[in-house]
Structures are given as structure tokens and as C-alpha cells.
Structure 1
Amino acid sequence: MHDTGRRPLDLPPGYPVAGHRITALIGSGGWGTVYAAEDAAGRPVAVKFLPPGLLTPGLRRTMAELVHRERYFSEAADHPQLIRTLAAHTVHDPGRPEVDGALALVMERADRSLQQELAGREPGRPVPGAGRILTEVAAGLAHMHGRGWVHGDLKPGNILLMPDGGVRLADFGLTAELDGTHAYTPPLGSPDHVPPEWWSQRAGAQGVQLRPSADVWAFGVLAHQVLTGGLHPFLGASARARSLAAQAYARGAAPLRLDERLPAPWRALIADCLAGDRRERERLDADTLLARVRAAAAPPTTPSAVRWRRRRRGRHRAGLWAVCVLAAATAAASSATLPPAGGPAPPPPGPSAPASGAIPAGSDVPTALREPIDLAARQCPEAEITPAFLAAMLKAESGFDPNAARPQSQEYGIAMWTPSVFNAWAQDGDHDGRKDYMSAPDAIVTMGGYVCWLDQQLKRRGYRTDLPALVVAGYRTSDKTVADTGGVPARVRPHVDLVLRYLAEYGG
């Protein structure tokens, strides 16, 4: 890393800024630091410090442009779904060179970001109030587009959840004003949320062309994440891998595979937002997007939906009645042991069968490993990647030993990762801030992402049968080796057969 020529901000509580006093650090990123603060009456605000200088002239120009965009849009925008900037102040403090000359933007303070909300969610389950959140995001986006602005960096970290439950779009450093059909923005952005065409565009003297359709794409990714507890519509263990998957889809080299749990109206809307061809995506303007989001978020009103809700209410009442009957029967059983008149009591129900692909309750899979195995399987939409399948792979790889090692082949841990391969796919399965192939949760969740990708690659190559065996073979070799061989290579056939035997034992 190089020296940027500036020290990180470390402002003490009580530090004064534009009539406000700093109370605590909220967070810091590549382009600024945000502090919690209060005004003289004790009302909470947030203060975003944009640093005064960077190393290179190019970066200085980029920073100056970001500051200009943030200030200009904050002053021009006025909508309940857009975060408000209350004041802009240039700091003069020669005694603190790291902050002297910085621009301080005093803004409304949020309770948390959507990114923080997603971080604590179970994958596959929507964020509470998902429809309302997406409706308010779409409303803010429609307001911006209607006035000739493109956000340019729509992502969960820039969606703020306010203390009163409202939703605000924030971070307007990449916001740009339309000139005809497009605008220009610095060549920056979040790889997980930029459209496929962004990667093939060259930055000119004015920056990179930015169109409203880029925000529509980003909204499609965002909606998929909100409705699935954070799952990205394009699979990959890193932002770069996910962007490559999105580019392959846009070229027609791969189909769009949305999470199967998405309700039909949302699925159709997200698919339209993620149209690979920009020109097709441009047909979905922000006002139409907002109308469709409102329709998708509204309770169903068709006769079949009404009947479905009535059936649900009927089942709910029946469930309550069953509870009452069960309670009465339990009380009666405590005072009598004879069967009721009219015949013997029915036999007690037997144990219910596990769901397809689930790990059986009485299996040898260690209890501590079941949660990360289930999590890894839930994150993959492919039918073959089940908890039982991953458990069978782990048993064959290491016998569930998190300290297993084969130094001669450079394979380590419960999933027998080669460190360099693990690093390319690594995920933080135990949420401790580190990615370690010797950590069982990290290794298992990373294995799930990798074999999911292998499954998809093999399907793209035209394979439709024997996929569990082919995926295992790909994990031991590569998808290319499997394709070149035309099936399972002979040298890994004994290992593949072992996994399939364990899978059969687990009921897979």
C-alpha cells in the first residue's frame, strides 16, 4: 500500500463542527469518515468529513468532483426518501492537519443502513418490511430521475433506515445530471451493483457515461437482496466473481437464475430490471418501476388470492381448535387410562420423514456442523446442492475433522482446501471478520459457494444427468477436466463413489 499523505481522522467527543459537537465515530470508508453529532439542542445528526487532500492530482480532481456533486445535489434535492444535508462547512483547524481544509457535510442521522440490516439476516428470508423498503427506494429513485438525476451508486450501504421507520437514499457523490440520454460520472462504483455494460465502457475526459438504466439494474440487484436476506442474483465468492457472472449472462453465455423463493410479481420485475441488453432495460423508466413495485408489494386481490387467504384463516382457526382439543385430551388422559368408547385409541404418529436433501436427525454429521452446512446449501439455488450432499462431501474429504491435513498435496481443513484456491472463493462463515480455511464454518460455506458454481458451470456446458457425481469430480479436479474427460475422470472415481455412498446413507 502507498501513503496517501493524510492521517485517518480521530476526532474527540465534543469536537465542534458548524454549530454541532461530535459524539462518536459511525464509520469510515475510502472517501470519507462519518461521525455522530448533536446540535445545540441535543438533536442527533451525522457529519460526513470529506478529506482535504489525496496523493495524486488525478485523485484530487476526483475528490473535488465528488464533493461538488454531493453538495450540489444535496442542495437541489428535496424529497422524503432522500437524505437531507443540513449544512456544508469547510473545517479550519491548522492544529489538526488531517482535518484542516476538509469539507464537513451535516446530514440527517439514520438508525442503520440496509447493509447492516442484511448482515444479520438469515439467507433466503426477506428483510422485515421488504415491500415498504423497496417502494420507498423506488419513490426516491423516481423523484431523482424525474428531475434529470441518476444516482450512480445504488446499493444497500447507501440505503438508510431512519429511527421513525422511513427509508432514505444517501451518498450522492456519484450522482450525475442528465445531458440528453446520459450523464457522466467518475469511473467509480460498487462492482456488485453496476450493470454489465459498465465494464466495457472507456472513461473519457468527462468520466464514464451513466444512464438511468444503470440505476434500474442496481435496483434489480438490491430488490433480490432485500427479498432473499442478502443473496446476490449472480453467484460468486467475491464481487469480481459476481460481476463476471453478470457479464456472462449479459452476453447470453449463461441464463438468469433468480432465487426460486421469489414471489412471481417480484421475480418478473427483477428479471426486467436485470435485462442484459441496456436498450431493453431502458424501457423500464423509474415511474413505471415505482408503479410495478407498488403492485408487487400490495396484498394480492385476485379471487384466487382471496380464497387462498380465506383458506389460511381457516387453517389458522382449525389449528387453534386443534390446540384446544389437544389440551382437553391431555387433561382427560391425566385422569383416565382407559381408551375412549367406540374402539381403541389410534396409534401415536411415527417420526416425520426429513425434508428431501436434509441431514437425517440420527446421522453421524456432528451437530455443530449442521448449521453452517444448512446455510451453505440454502445459499445455492441449484437442486443438487443440498445439506445431505455437502455433508457427504465433507465426510469423504476429511471425516468431519476440522484439523485434517494432507501436506503432500497442500490440502487442509474439513473441506480439504488448497489455500490458494480457497482464497479465490473465501467466505466468512462464522462472521468473525476473518476467512480461514482451517475454520470449519468458513471452509464449509466457501465449499457451498464453489460447488454451486461448479454445478452451474456444468449445466452451462450441457450436462443434465449425474450432476452430483460430476460436481464431486469437479471439486477434486475442475469443471474443465470433467468436460474434457466427458464425465468423471477415472483417477477420482473411487472418491466420487464414496461420496455417493455417503449421500445414499443420508437419504439423498
Structure 2
Amino acid sequence: MTDAAHVRLDLPPGYRVGEWVLKEPIGTGSWGVVHAAESAEDGAEAAVKLLPTHLLPPGQRASMEQLVRREVRFSLETDHPHVVRTREVLTVRDPERPELDGATALVMDRAARSLQDALTERADDGPAPLPDAPRILAGVGAGLAHIHQRGWVHGDLKPGNVLLAPDGEVWLGDFGLTVELDGTHAYVPPLGSLDHVPPEWWSDREGGRSVVRPTADIWAFGVLAHQVLTGGLHPFPGSTPRARALAAQAYARGTAELRLENGVPEGWRALIADCLRPDHASRAALDAGELAARARALEAPGAGRPGAGRARPEGRGRRLRVVAAAAGVPLVAVGVTAGLLLADDGPDAASGGGAAASRPASPSPSVPGAIPAASDVPRKLRPVLTSAARRCAEEEVTPAFLAAMLKAESGFDADARRPATDEYGIAMWTPSVFKSWAQDGDKDGDKSYMSPPDAIAAMSNFVCWLDQQYKKKGMRENLPALMAAGYRTSSRTVIETGGVPERVRPHVERVERYLREYSG
């Protein structure tokens, strides 16, 4: 869908679709625009997503129509307390507005927020679980088990597609990639959230489509559970969905270990590890029914707290209508397509992908290379350093090492400047070089070399890459010193020298001295 189509569907409050009077927009995505809505008949609240099926080019339209038909059938067949309800499917008929005439509208129960929103709101709390985390995960597991038992696979399970109702209910949402199994598997377009799909998703293709199995949802539940129990931390390092997906693939190949956050409780840790087994065959030992049962059992210790075990509210019976409307006048039936209550963020988003998944974590004595409490490292930087170190799978890149680097570079001065060498900020970045390492190489104009979190994250990306380059060349001794030297010169200079170049040795020795202090 073009940007222009997005704009043309962003309707003013008061526009009516069937009985639903549109209010303010509450989200936009790659497929449509979502509006809050209120029934003109009884004042009930809903969310209406407008999808410009008629504006798509023929090739995309055929795929979208297939998704439309699939989601309509899914909505007709699925009724469960933990699956969001689709109330109506409408075709808008408004000849006076040709840009809108023929658009598809989905009317659904409106959530208060998504699970991604909840994670984002707690961004500053470090790696602490969300309130009611066990209850939320038990609800997700129950909804997933129901879908699988009826022969469907969700296909895009992530925090942005788990919805939290005003009364605390947990709903699975956004069934645009949900597919019915044909035997043991099915095929979907090569979409999905890159850091929530299993490693085999990248290679298991046929005719341009990805093979999807129930074990894909099992994997995604493992990723999601880790995020819910750690305040947003992804179980695989990386500052972008692509980087985290590559780390998951390295784990699946056996070249990297699965490193779960230390604060994850033991029972959940075991379940997450089973969900994140590296290949489809080993993951198949855990089906969604057993997953849901284990999640319910893990919820039990907190079952007596407020909000747990909340009953389904009255009036949530199935009432799906498939009709068409023009300013309230019913006409012809049509289907639905990708997206539910809250607009999707596109296939690369991971619902907050980088935002929540790379959330700063508070240092813990059990974290390798954690920063001692009595050190001079500014307290506000410690969770940022811990989170940045987690982006790298190389064991030498620790919070203590990054702290030592910052101390040697700027003395933790966020406003440090060396105009003569064009170096600025807490990590002394040259602006043009920073752009190459911020967000794993993505040229993101919103990132700033003068922002300590951005500068530290980019530093972690760069020294992690240096560490890997040295290891490829067989240079495995005193890697912290080599990384510090490469940061001041280049990987090529260090490799050609065969060690620390003489001209940066005093600087490297300072880094080593600070590292010993922070490692003690």
C-alpha cells in the first residue's frame, strides 16, 4: 500500500461505517488504518480497521484476497476467551469518495493496549517481569492451544499481536498470517516478524512461500515468554530484528549458545528452553496443549492475587456478520485481511522489535562481567551498559569492558568533544563512522552519537564485530586489548600489526587498568 493510500484512508472523526461511528485514529500499519469507533445503536466501543484492498496492484490483490477469505473463515470457526473477537466484516460503499469506495473494514473488540505497549511502558524498570506475567502467558498459551487444536497456526505471534482488554483479559490478535494446516504444515507468504520466526523459516521455502508448522508458534511463544518475564529482553542478542534473527540462526547451527536472562524463574526457564530448541524436529516434542498446561501450572503460585483467573465477561458470544456498508446502509458481503485491533508495524517490526527487545537491563552480580556496585560507573549508565553488552554473543564483550572503554574514552562525559579529531560524546564517535554502526549498520537518522544509550549500543556493535574479526584470524589472546586498540585505529591495523599498535598502547593500557578495577 502506498503512503498516499494511507493518508486517504485516515478519515475524520464522525465518518460512519455501518452502525459504527469512527473516532480518532489509533494506529497505522503497512496494510491499513485503525480507528476507534462507537456504535450509533447502543454506544458500544470497537476498533475498525480500514483496508484498501481495491487500491492494491493486481499481484498484491490476489494474495490479499486469499488472506481475506482465510481470516473470515478463521473468525467464523474460532470462539475462545483468549482469541479476540471479530464482530463484523464490511465493505465500504461510498461513490462520492472513490479513494474509499470498495475498502474492507474489520470491526473488532477494542483492546486497551497491546502487550508491546505494556513492555514499552516499563522500559525503565530493567529486566523485571511484567505484573501478572504468569497470567498473561497462561492466557497466550491457552489461546494458542485452542487455535492448534482446531488445525490452525497463528504464524505471527509476538507482543504486538497479544492484546490486553480493559478488564485484564488476554487475547491473541492479528490473524493476517494465520493458516490452516494441510497435514503437518502449510505455506504462507514470506512475511512475519524476523526475530520471532524460527531459524528454519529462512531456508524452508517452496515456490517463494515459507513453510509454517505449529512448532513455529512454539518457538515464538518461547521468545515472547522471555520478553514478558524480563521486561522486554529478547533471548537472542542484537539491536535490530535482523541481527537477532541472525543470532538465532547461529544458535541453531551450534555456533552460539542459548543465553537466557538470569532472572527468569527456573520453571519458566525450562519451558522457554524447550520452546527454543534449535530445530523443528526437536521442538515438535512440545505441542501447544502441553505448553498451555505447563504455563497454567506455572501460574498457580500466584493464582490468588488480584486479577488472576478472571472470568470471561458476559456478552462476549459470537456475533460475526459479513456485510457491506455505506454510511450505515448494508450492501454486499466481502472478506477481511491481515491485521486486527492495532495496526501492524510491517513484517520487520517485531512489534517494537528494537524498542522493547533491546530494553536496558539492570546489572546483576550473576551477569558475566557485571559492574561492581561500588565502582565509579554512573548508576544511570549501568543498565544501558548491561543491555548493550547483551547485544553481542562474544563473551569478552561485557558490561565491565564497555564501562572501561567509556572511562578511557571520555571519563563518562556525555558532552565530551575533540573537534580536532572530529570525535564527540561519551563514546567519542566520529559522526560519519557512527552512522555505520548505529542499529547494526542501518542508517537510522533518529540515532544520535551524542545520546549515551545510542552511542553505547553502537560501541557494543563495533567492538563485537572487532572481536569476531580477530578470532577469524586466529587472534584469541588478550581480546579486550585488541578491541580497545581496534576502536582507536581499525581492525586492519591491529591485524596487520599482529597486536596492539605502539601508538595506542598507552590508551589500551588505561582500558585494561579500568577493566581490572571493574572486574574485581
Per-residue deviation, residues 354-389 of structure 1 (Å, max 9, x unmatched): 97623647x4x5x6xx41443331464588666554
Does structure 2 retain, via aligned residues, the 8 Å contact 1:9–1:99? yes
Superposition pairs of residues 416-431 of structure 1, within 5 angstroms: 416-419=428-431, 422-423=434-435, 425-426=437-438
Distance 1:380 1:98, change over 3 A: farther
Per-residue deviation, residues 7-29 of structure 1 (Å, max 9, x unmatched): 44221111111201111111000
In the alignment, structure 1 residue 252 sits paired with structure 2 residue 254: yes
Does structure 2 retain, via aligned residues, the 8 Å contact 1:373–1:445? no
In the alignment, structure 1 residue 357 sits paired with structure 2 residue 358: no
Distance 1:123 1:247, change over 3 A: same
Tell me the residue number matched to 1:151: 154
For residue 288 of structure 1, report the CA deviation from its aligned partner. Answer: 1.2
Distance 1:466 1:34, change over 3 A: same
Please give the alpha-carbon distance, in whole angstroms, between the structure 2 residues aligned to 1:463 and 1:133. Answer: 47
Per-residue deviation, residues 189-209 of structure 1 (Å, max 9, x unmatched): 11010111111133427x322
**For residue 256 of structure 1, what is the amino acid of its counterpart?**
L
Tell me the residue number matched to 1:18: 18
Does structure 2 retain, via aligned residues, the 8 Å contact 1:149–1:175? yes
Does structure 2 retain, via aligned residues, the 8 Å contact 1:137–1:169? yes
Superposition pairs of residues 55-204 of structure 1, within 5 angstroms: 55-121=56-122, 122-204=125-207
Among 271, 274, 287, which residue is 1:272 paired with?
274
TM-align CA RMSD = 3.4
Task: Tell me which of the two structures has the higher relative contact order, counting C-alpha pairs closer than 8 angstroms and 6 or more residues apart.
Answer: 2
> Which structure 1 residue ranges, 5 or more long, are not aligned?
302-353
Distance 1:3 1:161, change over 3 A: closer
Does structure 2 retain, via aligned residues, the 8 Å contact 1:70–1:171? no
In the alignment, structure 1 residue 232 sits paired with structure 2 residue 199: no
> Which structure 2 residue ranges, 5 or more long, are not aligned?
304-363
For residue 437 of structure 1, report the CA deviation from its aligned partner. Answer: 1.4
**For residue 83 of structure 1, what is the amino acid of its counterpart?**
V
In the alignment, structure 1 residue 397 sits paired with structure 2 residue 409: yes
Per-residue deviation, residues 49-71 of structure 1 (Å, max 9, x unmatched): 11134553322222222222222
For residue 418 of structure 1, report the CA deviation from its aligned partner. Answer: 4.5
Distance 1:410 1:65, change over 3 A: farther
Distance 1:475 1:283, change over 3 A: farther
Deviates more, 1:16-25 or 1:151-160: 16-25
Please give the alpha-carbon distance, in whole angstroms, between the structure 2 residues aligned to 1:277 and 1:481. Answer: 40
**For residue 179 of structure 1, what is the amino acid of its counterpart?**
D
Does structure 1 retain, via aligned residues, the 8 Å contact 2:385–2:403? no
Distance 1:452 1:225, change over 3 A: farther
Among 192, 215, 218, which residue is 2:217 paired with?
215
**For residue 143 of structure 1, what is the amino acid of its counterpart?**
H
Tell me the residue number matched to 2:29: 29
Please give the alpha-carbon distance, in whole angstroms, between the structure 1 residues aligned to 2:173 and 2:474. Answer: 44
For residue 117 of structure 1, report the CA deviation from its aligned partner. Answer: 0.7
Deviates more, 1:439-448 or 1:126-135: 439-448
Per-residue deviation, residues 453-490 of structure 1 (Å, max 9, x unmatched): 77789899999975644553454467798788776565
What is the TM-score with the length of structure 2 in the denominator? 0.76
Does structure 2 retain, via aligned residues, the 8 Å contact 1:376–1:449? no
Please give the alpha-carbon distance, in whole angstroms, between the structure 2 residues aligned to 1:498 and 1:8. Answer: 59
For residue 424 of structure 1, report the CA deviation from its aligned partner. Answer: 5.2
Distance 1:157 1:300, change over 3 A: closer
| SS across alignment from 2:301 | coil
Superposition pairs of residues 287-306 of structure 1, within 5 angstroms: 287-299=289-301
**For residue 121 of structure 2, what is the amino acid of its counterpart?**
G
For residue 291 of structure 1, report the CA deviation from its aligned partner. Answer: 1.6
Please give the alpha-carbon distance, in whole angstroms, between the structure 1 residues aligned to 2:474 and 2:228. Answer: 32
Distance 1:482 1:53, change over 3 A: farther
For residue 443 of structure 1, report the CA deviation from its aligned partner. Answer: 1.2
In the alignment, structure 1 residue 371 sits paired with structure 2 residue 385: no
Number of residue pairs the alignment of both structures matches: 447
For residue 441 of structure 1, report the CA deviation from its aligned partner. Answer: 3.1
What is the TM-score with the length of structure 1 in the denominator? 0.78
**For residue 277 of structure 1, what is the amino acid of its counterpart?**
D
For residue 132 of structure 1, report the CA deviation from its aligned partner. Answer: 0.7
Per-residue deviation, residues 86-108 of structure 1 (Å, max 9, x unmatched): 00100112333332211101000
- State the identity %: 62
Among 492, 495, 502, which residue is 2:507 paired with?
495
In the alignment, structure 1 residue 415 sits paired with structure 2 residue 427: yes
Distance 1:457 1:80, change over 3 A: farther
Does structure 2 retain, via aligned residues, the 8 Å contact 1:124–1:378? no
**For residue 240 of structure 2, what is the amino acid of its counterpart?**
S
**For residue 183 of structure 1, what is the amino acid of its counterpart?**
A
For residue 393 of structure 1, report the CA deviation from its aligned partner. Answer: 1.5
Structure number with greater Rg is: 1
Deviates more, 1:77-86 or 1:371-380: 371-380
For residue 273 of structure 1, report the CA deviation from its aligned partner. Answer: 0.8
